[in-house]
Structure 1
Amino acid sequence: MEISESNLKILIDKISQLKEEIQKVIVGQDIIIEEMLVALLAGGHCLLEGVPGLAKTLMVRTMSQALDLSFRRIQFTPDLMPTDIIGTEILEEDHLTGKRFFKFNKGPLFANIILADEINRTPPKTQSALLEAMQEFEVTYGGQTYPLDRPFFILATQNPIEQAGTYPLPEAQLDRFLLYIKIGYPTAAEETKILSSTTGTIKNKVEAVIGAEEIKQLQALTREVSISDDLISYVADLIRATRPETSSIAYVKEWVRWGAGPRAGQALILTAKARALIHGRYAVIMEDLQTMAYPVLRHRVLMNFKADAENVSSDMVAAELIRTISRTKVSI
């Protein structure tokens, strides 16, 4: 992709402008916003998890307002059917000939940005309807394949504390999410600012600062960010060390049931490239990889029963791997 130096600077500046527009409404959560932008530039999808009231939906909606893209919100419920999100065929009549024919009526999935709100409240049959869309960027209905508009970005939310009437996402679908982002409570200063800014009459207006073509250019540019062979080797070592059957790390053997697959390594490199670009760099450094390891591995390293009983999380495994895996061959 040939981009002039001046256009390249304009594109990079757009990322900062996008972040600033989101921060007009969202107080704090800088790391969360950056991870969402990383997923957007890397061309993947996000799973956002947080207790009610932490502005998950507001964050996604604000991001969609700052992007000049089509946006649809799908509220997932126990009675939602696959056709409710993909679409269905309807019988129509040609007024000239009188002949009847079936026409595919596209569902809300045919938009650039999809907010899949409370995705774990719908049964697996409907959850699986997203699989093809998330991986192949197309849907199939009645033997016909329909391509989705690009860029295509799914941000799904779920509540970690209310499990009654929910359907945990299967591992196959979890793996389709590039990042698993956990949203925590704001700091005391941030919470004070939230209370002050959201209970008055003044509302900040979010402007759309970037369009579809510019996003596609940034996604292509992300893949061109360089990464050294040493760092690629480090990623391979890191991912392989998550697998208890081949790992030499006792911590992993004790707590992990299943390790991450090759897709985790691909996700880690792509997201590290996106993070480097967001920070104005055109080469990946160790900090990029170690920062993105947590949201990349969080849903791809499955803990065993002992770990669940003793509250040992996949984040703790990622921290141990980062501390343990040898970096002697990497120039940092």
Structure 2
Amino acid sequence: MPTSADTAAANAPLAADELARSAEVIAAVTAQFEAKVVGQERLRETLLVGLLTGGHVLLESVPGLAKTTAAATLAESVQASFSRIQCTPDLLPSDIVGTQVYDARDASFTTQLGPVHANIVLLDEINRSSAKTQSAMLEAMQERQTSIGGQVHRLPEPFLVLATQNPIEHEGTYRLPEAQMDRFMLKDVLDYPSPEQEAEVLHRMDRGVYAPGRAVAPAATLEDVRALRDAARRVYLDPAITRYIVGLAYVTRHAETYIEPRLARFIEFGASPRASIAFSAAARAAALLAGRDYVVPEDVKSLAHRVLRHRIILGFEAVAEQVPVETVVDAIVAAVQTP
């Protein structure tokens, strides 16, 4: 049981040497990530925020934008175990969490843990799996455990789920429930690389950077990741920033009072308190990635799309008028006074 001394140490401000060590580890991981992944700076930040907070990430893009490469590279750079699960309509919950196998030799059952028992799990095209299979991930994502044959199995720490979905294909897909969407701390939408970045990808292919079996050199350890998580939790969050975060979430639920009526009527449901929790944790991680031991309003603003785009539910009118959720998020951010 934690003592008062343990609690005080966990809440102590970051020392200068801790901040310097965190910056050193982050720079090393960033260098290894950029050695394999071209461009995608925001994706790198999103993945690192997820890693530093333990918050799961939903990635949306057309195929071929390095989502799998980025996830595998991140795992390699911190010496984490990595699993990739290709979601299909016939995927069963036991294919993810594991199952019990009967051994006829001694008439007993043995437990075979599924691929979700890894530090970093990539759920590729999560919207292709059925609702039953998606629900099996809720326990893993929220409780950090799985239940097999009545036995609870804890997931490794750190544990991070990176899920992807393809926005241009709808045949054979299932809509993610709002309850599951809310479990993702961030949702990032990736865009195509610039011509220069795409040319660099081809050059690296010629040099064999993406050859099978060629991994990046480890830049950190899981113990370093745990230390970074501890440091991120202790980044200072001023009460004024906390009120700013709560104000953003509040306006999503009472938009008609604060933003343009035309945009406000598109919102069916605002963000839950998980949005405020996500903002708080992610802003601390973003500050640490920037080399600071305190959060500034710009940290929160830079995360607004990623925290809110999957938590604000728009009605059919927004779809009919082709109003993206990011437009609504921008209006909400503009309506709340920056501290």
Q: How many residues align?
A: 324
Structure 2 unaligned runs (5+)? 1-9
Q: How does 1:157-172 map to 2 (within 5 A)?
A: 157-172=164-179
Deviation at 1:9? Answer: 2.0
Cα deviation, 1:195-215, whole Å, max 9, x if unaligned, reads 222244455751111222221
Distance 1:232 1:252, change over 3 A: farther
Deviation at 1:306, TM superposition (A): 0.6
Aligned partner (choices 82, 87, 96) of residue 85 of structure 1? 96
Q: Determine the structure 1 residue equivalent to 2:303.
A: 292
SS state at 1:48 partner: strand
The match for 1:209 among 215, 219, 233 is 219
2:120 alignment partner in structure 1: 113
2:320 match: 309
Q: RMSD of aligned C-alpha atoms?
A: 1.8
Aligned twin of 2:246: 236
1:39 is aligned, of 34, 50, 58, to 50
Q: Is the 2:18–2:231 Cα contact (8 Å) retained in structure 1?
A: no
2:164 paired with 1:153? no
Partner of 1:30: 41
CA offset at residue 247 of structure 1?
Answer: 4.5
CA drift at 1:16: 1.2
SS at match of 2:275: helix
- TM-score, length basis structure 1: 0.92
Give the superposition deviation at 1:251: 4.9
Indicate the larger mover: 64-73 or 204-213: 204-213
Query: The residue matched to 1:316 in structure 2 has which SS?
Result: helix
1:322 is paired with a residue whose SS is helix
Distance 1:264 1:252 in 2: 20
Match of 1:49 in 2: 60
What whole-Å deviation, never above 9, does each CA across 1:90-131 have from its counterpart, x for those lacking one? Answer: 2236x7xx5x33222111111111111111111111011100
Q: In the aligned structure 2, how far is the partner of 1:321 from the partner of 1:112?
A: 35
| One-letter identity of the residue aligned with 2:150 | G
- Whether the 8 Å CA contact 1:28–1:186 is kept in 2: the answer is yes
> Would you say the 8 A contact 2:147–2:153 is kept in 1?
yes
**Structure 1: stretches of 5+ with no match in the other structure:** none
Q: Give the whole-Å Cα distance in 1 for the aligned partners of 2:132 and 2:285.
A: 33
Q: Pick from 217, 227, 230: which aligns with 1:220?
A: 230
Match among 139, 149, 152 for residue 142 of structure 1 = 149
What SS is found at the alignment partner of 1:272? helix
Question: In the TM superposition, what is the alpha-carbon distance from 1:19 to its structure 2 partner?
Answer: 1.0
Distance 2:102 2:202 in 1: 51
Match for 1:76 among 72, 87, 94? 87
Question: Which amino acid counterpart does residue 245 of structure 2 have in structure 1?
Answer: V
Task: Choose the corresponding residue for 1:62, options 47, 64, 73.
Answer: 73
Pair 1:298–1:141, CA change in 2 (3 A):
same
- Aligned position for 2:287: 276
Are 1:191 and 2:201 an aligned pair?
A: no
Deviates more, 1:63-72 or 1:278-287: 63-72
What is aligned with 2:330?
A: 319
Counterpart in the other structure of 2:273: 262
Which deviates further from its counterpart, 236-245 or 287-296?
Answer: 236-245
For normalisation by structure 2, the TM-score amounts to 0.91
In structure 2, C-alpha distance between the alignment counterparts of 1:229 and 1:266, rounded to whole Å = 14
Query: What secondary structure is seen at the aligned counterpart in 2 of 1:24?
Result: helix
1:240·1:247 contact (CA, 8 Å) conserved in 2? no
In structure 2, what is the Cα distance between the partners aligned to 1:289 and 1:260? 15
Structure 1 residues 231 and 251, CA gap change in structure 2 (3 angstroms): farther
Distance 1:245 1:313 in 2: 16
Partner secondary structure for residue 217 of structure 1:
helix
SS at match of 1:307: helix
For 2:296 and 2:182, how far apart are their aligned partners in 1? 25
Q: Percent identity among equivalent residues?
A: 40
Greater CA drift, 229-238 or 141-150: 141-150
Task: Give the drift of 1:243.
Answer: 1.2
**Alignment check: 8 A CA contact 2:99 2:149 kept:** no
Mapped to 1, the partners of 2:125 and 2:209 lie a distance apart of 29
Amino acid at match of 1:14: V
Q: What's the counterpart of residue 180 of structure 1? A: 187
Residue 68 of structure 1 aligns to a residue whose secondary structure is coil
Q: Distance in 1 between matches of 2:96 and 2:207?
A: 36
Q: Tell me the CA shift for residue 161 of structure 1.
A: 0.2
> Could you say if the C-alpha distance between residues 325 and 69 of structure 1 is closer, same or farther in structure 2, counting changes exceeding 3 Å?
same
Q: Is the Cα contact below 8 Å between 2:32 and 2:216 reproduced in 1?
A: yes
Distance 2:150 2:37 in 1: 43
State the alpha-carbon separation in 2 of the partners of residues 245 and 143 from structure 1.
45
CA–CA separation in structure 2 for the residues paired with 1:109 and 1:192: 35
